[in-house]
């Protein structure tokens, strides 16, 4: 059986990481992998997470399954984090299940969509997170794209986006990034969200919102603006959330998939299908990461500490954007890179050619994806001079 297989190409980001690890250049810089790093280049465990883990170890008394839905407390807290005091919660129209990370949430959502309509079409932004297309196609969905990022002008193709979504079918699904768009960093502003939500209500397509970076853009409340407005605008929607970035729980693999139905009865039926999907993929979700998150969110002390630590990460990323732009100017680079400071979250396109990206790697040991998508968290005061100088040389 195995003899009929042909080798598939490795994930480009994982390939970059492997090359970076064996590179002997002491000045090497990793701008490829999408994880938060502190000034020392380390992805440290948050202090609030350490405290919650200690509580977990001291109080956990069983390793029995927690059921397909996962922890009820975690699910409730994730829904409140996303929707706040929204009416959909009071109306009992929200159902959430714990998932193995944000990717697991997206795959659960994809299989749920297939159960609703086999072969359904899902529209994703151009560009979008590289794994979106593969996991949707793996679930049997048809993937199409709508215009989003203007590479030439380093801006949003909003009018083209609206025109394309105006022609989306009523039974189609549209994937939207809640905040910190991956890979462009270019987000919808509040006025643009209002237009998209109005269009969703008018055309009747189902929104699937991917929220992997809540709190990494402008703040926890601000980053949920589009999610909450969409919940006000439409009768049905799907939300996929991740705790990898904002809680730093990358290897714990904990996320959530949330559905909103038009009424309690419809939502309960949809939830039964959602649970069937879960049962057939991984049966029961992991418990440890969820326990950490719910411990933090249900403790005033730990929640406040989390807010403070999250603000540190957010402010560092935003500061790194300005730091790079300032250093490029100091190197005498004439090209305007100020667009980097206008974007949000972990990523931005540097806007150089694949050949120049390769030169940065070969000549200066600076690693980023061929599209010039760079992880802003990889920039530090200790390497930004070398980074800016290298970019100036290849330009």
Is 245 catalytic? The answer is: yes
Peptide bond just before 127 cis, omega within 30 deg:
yes
**Residue 50 bears catalytic tag:** no
Strand 29-30 to 366-367 pairing: parallel
**The token pair that represents 120 in the structure block:** 């359904």
Is 23 labeled as catalytic in the residue annotation?
no
Q: How many CB atoms lie within 10 A of CB 75?
A: 21
d(CA 171, CA 253): 31
Which residue out of 30, 37, 123, 129 is catalytically annotated?
129
Q: Is the Cβ–Cβ distance between 64 and 218 less than 8 Å?
A: no
Residues 307-339 as b or e (16 or more Cβ within 10 Å = b) = eebbeebbebbbebbebbbebbeebebeeebeb
- CA 314 remoteness from chain centre: 14
Among 393, 395, 391, 394, which residue's Cα sits nearest to residue 325?
391
- C-alpha span between 239 and 391 (Å, rounded): 38
Sheet containing 206-211, strands listed edge to edge, beginning at the edge strand earlier in sequence: 94-99, 255-260, 237-242, 206-211, 173-177, 121-126, 142-147
Can you tell me whether residue 44 is helix, strand or coil?
coil
Task: Provide the 8-state DSSP code for 258.
Answer: E
Distance (Å, whole) CA 159 – CA 115: 33
* Rounded Cα distance, 165 and 205, in Å: 9
Distance CA 58, CA 78 (A): 24
Among the listed residues 30, 172, 187, 210, the single catalytic one is: 210
Catalytic residue positions, numbered: 129, 210, 245
């Amino acid at each position: 059986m195995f003899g009929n297989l042909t080798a598939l190409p490795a994930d480009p980001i994982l390939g970059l990481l492997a090359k970076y690890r064996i590179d002997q250049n002491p000045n090497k810089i990793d701008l490829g992998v999408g994880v938060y790093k502190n000034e020392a280049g380390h992805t440290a465990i948050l202090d609030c997470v350490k405290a919650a883990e200690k509580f977990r170890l001291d109080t956990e008394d069983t390793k029995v399954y927690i059921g397909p839905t996962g922890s009820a407390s975690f699910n409730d807290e994730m829904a409140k984090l996303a929707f706040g005091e929204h009416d959909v919660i009071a109306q009992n129209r929200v159902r959430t299940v714990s998932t193995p990370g944000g990717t697991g949430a997206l795959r659960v959502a994809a299989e749920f969509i297939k159960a609703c309509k086999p072969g359904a079409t899902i529209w994703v932004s151009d560009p979008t997170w590289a794994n979106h297309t593969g996991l949707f196609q793996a679930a049997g969905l048809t993937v199409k794209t709508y215009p989003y990022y203007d590479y030439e002008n380093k801006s949003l193709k909003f009018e083209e986006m609206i025109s394309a979504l105006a022609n989306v079918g009523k039974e189609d699904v549209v994937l939207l990034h809640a905040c910190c768009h991956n890979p462009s960093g270019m987000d919808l502003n509040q006025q643009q969200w209002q237009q998209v939500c109005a269009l969703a209500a008018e055309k009747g397509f189902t929104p699937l919102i991917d929220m992997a970076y809540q709190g990494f853009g402008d703040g926890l409340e601000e980053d949920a603006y589009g999610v909450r407005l969409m919940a006000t605008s439409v009768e049905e929607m799907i939300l996929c959330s991740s705790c990898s970035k904002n809680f730093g729980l990358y290897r714990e693999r904990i996320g959530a998939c949330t559905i909103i139905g038009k009424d309690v009865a419809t939502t309960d039926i949809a939830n039964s299908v959602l649970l069937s999907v879960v049962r057939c993929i991984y049966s029961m979700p992991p418990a440890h990461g969820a326990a950490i998150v719910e411990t933090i969110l249900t403790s005033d002390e730990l929640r406040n500490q989390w807010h403070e630590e999250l603000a540190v990460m957010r402010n560092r990323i935003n500061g790194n954007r300005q730091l790079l732009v300032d250093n490029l100017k100091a190197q005498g680079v004439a090209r305007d890179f100020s667009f980097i400071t206008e974007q949000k979250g972990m990523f931005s396109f540097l806007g150089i050619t694949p050949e120049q990206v390769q030169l940065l790697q070969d000549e200066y040991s600076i690693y980023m994806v061929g599209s010039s998508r760079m992880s802003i968290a990889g920039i530090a005061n200790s390497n930004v001079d070398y980074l800016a100088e290298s970019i100036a040389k290849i330009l």
